[in-house]
């Protein structure tokens, strides 16, 4: 069992609520904040494809809503299936990578890799040159 099994389990549960009538790609994400609380989200598609939203960003939005501007994340797990409930290798998209980095510069990211193995890496490995504003 992995260190973040609870996040993987919560992400798998969240994907059951995904709204994906167009792609048939169901994605759930769960994250742990520095406070230790867990937040989850699922993808929500729309007929105007560009206004849909990813599971990772929905989980982050829920965490920001609950904890405010001080929210920071330590780890996030992503699970995905197709319409037949077959697990799919889905890493976070570029926009989600940037959003994860914004709230967790050292965040661990977990997702299933192409060979069906669990990938556990740091956000900087997935987004080596992420955008950040000078503080």
Residues classed as catalytic: 56
The answer to whether the beta carbons of residues 97 and 122 sit under 8 Å apart is no
What residues have CB less than 8 Å from 44, skipping those under 6 apart? 18, 19, 52, 53, 58
The Cα 76–Cα 125 span in angstroms is 14
Alpha helix positions (H), the chain: 5-14, 55-67, 94-103, 123-126
């Amino acid at each position: 069992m992995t260190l973040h099994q609870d996040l993987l389990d919560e992400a798998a549960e969240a994907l059951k609520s995904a709204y994906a009538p167009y792609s048939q790609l169901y994605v759930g994400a769960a994250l742990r904040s520095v406070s230790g609380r867990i937040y989850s989200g699922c993808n929500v598609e729309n007929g105007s494809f560009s206004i849909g939203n990813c599971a990772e960003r929905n989980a982050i939005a829920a965490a920001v809503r609950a904890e405010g501007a001080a929210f920071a994340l330590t780890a996030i797990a992503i699970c995905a299936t197709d319409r037949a409930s077959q697990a799919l290798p889905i890493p976070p998209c570029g926009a989600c990578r940037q959003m994860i980095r914004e709230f967790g510069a050292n965040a661990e990211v977990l997702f299933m890799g192409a060979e069906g193995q669990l990938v556990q890496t740091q956000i900087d490995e997935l987004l080596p040159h992420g955008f950040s504003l000078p503080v």
